[in-house]
Amino acid sequence: MSGRSLEQAEFEYTFVRKDPRVAYGLWAVSGIFGGHRFYLGDTGRSVAMLFTLGGLGVWALVDGLFIARRVRAVNDARRAAILARHGIVDQTPLG
């Protein structure tokens, strides 16, 4: 593993990482329609929220409590995929 490869991987990650502020903003504006889930790539659940109006609002409200955790999970998965593509094993402890 070269430092250059790690730099390239981290640079690539900066373009695909999701921002929790954007996710919360989308939730505030279009939460009942699943806009925040579309942003995070949860297409199946987004469509379900769209057709049920966010589970009649309940699902949308509960999502507000878990957006930060979901953004972290999405970002962790994206970073791991990029590092793996560059042949780098991430030694960072999760949590």
pLDDT digits (tens, 9 = 90+) for 46-93: 999 999 998 888 998 999 999 999 999 999 999 999 988 888 876 665
CA atoms within 13 A on the CB side of 77: 9
In 3D space, the residue among 22, 26, 27, 31 whose CA is nearest the CA of residue 57 turns out to be 31
Please state at what angle helix 58-85 crosses helix 43-56, rounded to 10 degrees. 170
The C-alpha atoms of residue 1 and residue 23 are separated, in whole angstroms, by 34
Task: Let me know if residue 90 belongs to a domain.
Answer: no
Task: Let me know if residue 23 belongs to a domain.
Answer: yes
Counted domains in the chain? 1
Task: Let me know if residue 95 belongs to a domain.
Answer: no
Q: The whole model's pTM is what?
A: 0.83
- Residue-number span of the structural domain to which 57 is assigned: 3-85
